[in-house]
Amino acid sequence: MFAVQKSSTEESSHQKNEKNSMNMNGNNNGSFVKVSMDGAPYLRKVDLKMYNSYPQLSDALAKMFSSFTIGSCESEGMKDFFMNERALMDVLNSSDYVPTYEDKDGDWMLVGDVPWEMFVESCKRLRIMKGKEAIGLAPRAMEKCKNRS
């Protein structure tokens, strides 16, 4: 019997999966991918099919790794990134974290460019990089931001 807690901060992906299994549709075998965050002592796993959008995923990741970030601004920065691409330049230039993923081709891509469903299909692994390291990773995204501002 699982201990039920009000806060889902440390709840494992497997526990959440068990609770929501009734709500899942069709041929859902789960889509578990590893999530690493630069500087964290261990990896986690998430089931991407548990979420319906980027903001939902970013919320879950922020909670998962909140104990490893120094101060709350890092996880806030990651949420901002999902919500608002103008924040991307600020995030990349600061010490905040940037979510990236390895796709089916083995390429490391910036999270958020493609429609959610397409992302779930192609994401094999997530890595939350420190902003400075991600600068070389997403030249297209930086171009997009320059054009907007």
Partner 1 sequence: MRTYTKVYKRGAVGRSIDITRYSNYEELKHDLARRFGIEGQLEDRHRIGWKLVYVDHENDVLLVGDDPWEEFVNCVRCIKILSPQEVQQMSLDGDFGNANLPNQACSSSDGGNT
Which of residues 24, 40, 142, 145 is near partner 1 by CB under 8 A? Answer: 40
Question: Applying CB under 8 A, which of residues 19, 28, 43, 84 lies at the interface with partner 1?
Answer: 43
Contact 80, 88 (CB under 8 A): no
**SS3 label, residue 7:** coil
Least distance from partner 1 to the Cβ atom of residue 18, Å: 9
* Alpha carbon distance 49, 39 (integer Å): 26
* Contacting range for partner 1; rule: CB under 8 A; set: 54-62, 65-73, 78-86, 99-107: 65-73
Looking at 50, 62, 98, 129, which residue binds partner 1 (CB under 8 A)? 129
Judged on CB neighbours under 10 Å (0-12, 13-18, 19+), 142 is middle
Give whichever of 47 and 80 is closer to partner 1, judged by the CB atom: 47
Contact status: 124 vs partner 1 (CB under 8 A):
no
94 belongs to the binding site for partner 1 (CB under 8 A)? no
Q: What are phi and psi of 139, to 5 degrees?
A: -60, -35
C-alpha distances out from residue 54 to 5, 39, 115, 147, Å: 25, 23, 9, 23
Minimal distance in Å, beta carbon 111 to partner 1? 17
For the CB of residue 14, give the shortest distance to partner 1 in the complex, in Å.
6
46: closest CA among 59, 60, 56?
A: 60
Give residues in contact with partner 1 (CB under 8 A).
1, 3, 5, 9-15, 17, 30, 32, 34, 36, 38-46, 66-68, 127, 129-130, 133
